[in-house]
Chain A
Amino acid sequence: MATAQTQMQTKWWSGGKSPFNVEYGKLMMWYFLMSDAFTFGAFLISYGTIRFSQNYWPDPNQVFNAFPLAGHANLPLAFVSLMTFILIVSSVTMVLAVHAGHKNDKQGVIKWMIWTVIGGIAFLSCQAWEWAHLITGEHAVLINGELTNIGTTVTKNPWGPAADLASHEGHHVGTPGPVAFGGYFFGITGFHGFHVLSGVVINIIMLIMAINGNFERKGHYWMIEKAGLYWHFVDLVWVFVFLCFYLI
């Protein structure tokens, strides 16, 4: 209530203070994230355009159905659910690190930043496994009347429509799918993965600075807050990557 009143009575544009009541760095982080949202948006919309222009597009449930150490078990979307959950949890630990920073609780910041870094590394490891599995996991498809084993890469896509009559060791055999699938998948999840990687590096730097007491000497933990904004944005982008590539 008191805050609402201060808000009403302050002349925000009279100078000498931030009219948005945030420090410069945080404001600029917000505007950077907005521009980054447009970058990711443009990539995803480009993917959508190409997907809408195709008569056939692979079903994500068939492409993403593997789980580490589960052999050939058909587990659609299980692994990507785990990745999503890891990223949500690491976002929560980041919120708690920022919260500890507000209270100038050095040990709390250190503890939660360590968990956030672990979450980020876990996500990257999962993505590495998924990429390796897609690229090296070969499937027999009919190309020019001949059965050929191909993996999913930026130039090859074994996830096409079923071939008319062919069968291979009792299995139905497919034909190559739209080549754009691999390019967009590796391009966009790669760009997101690179954001996660840089987020992990930033978080490690924040962790070292917190341990060294840099923020304690400054008297505030606002840097953690800015790194936190970036980290949440990475989680936010994953919501849409997850939506566009795995769910619909």
Chain B
Amino acid sequence: MRKRKASSIVLFVLGILFMLPVFILVMNSFKTYDEVIKSFVTLPESLYLGNFAEAARLMNYGVAVRNSLFVTICTVIVCTVISFFASFGISHLKGKKQTGFYLLFSLGQIIPFHTIMIALSVMMTNLNMNNSLITLIILYSGFHCAFGIFTYFGFLKTVPLSLEEAATIDGCGTLRLIWQIYFPLVLPTTVTIVVLFFLWTWNDFLMPSILISDSALRTITVNMYIFKGSTQSNWNLFMAALVISIIPIVIVYLFTQRYITSGITAGAVKQ
């Protein structure tokens, strides 16, 4: 009994210590410039909110959040749909065709983004496709669908063929088969895929930093990176900007904690 209580408290305290850098950052983001240059380790004199408003205005926060949301949501939808249909197709093909497509898409799982980033930057510039959020969505979808197909395929393999045969005998067409039989079946797998696609796209830095130079099209992470370079010694603004850049994903996490946890676990085990 006492042992249980002690270990619960120790774990909780360790957790708080682990998050200490975040708490210190949030604490300091409430300080005015004069306060912050005096000390980083004292509590703020008041809950000064001016930093957040000023940082949000200077970094065009609203636009960046909107861009990130647009790219992330579109990528998640497009990529999940194409991954599902492709794995449905591949799982129904036979013999060499199936193996061929499977191996082709598996290749995408081991190619690091850094291997194609130079080619992408040259090609997108030549095609006049840089500086476009749509390009980001297309590239993310193409890049992540390898994982989506791999994961869906792993599940669809286990669905007994008799289920589909029974439905077909009852006069169920391919589209209805997909919608009424397969869609409900793959729902848990879809949660995994959606969670991972969301996090990967939202948190990505390198692709938009290479392909986007128009300041109105920056995503939230790139925006913060650029802001760091331009704030100079306005430490209070830098910290406030950092806090508001982190907030959206933490809010998403708090509301979808269960799905994110199970999604990441399932995704890792399936790799």
Do A and B share a complex? no
| Interface set of B (CB-CB < 8 Å, partner A) | none
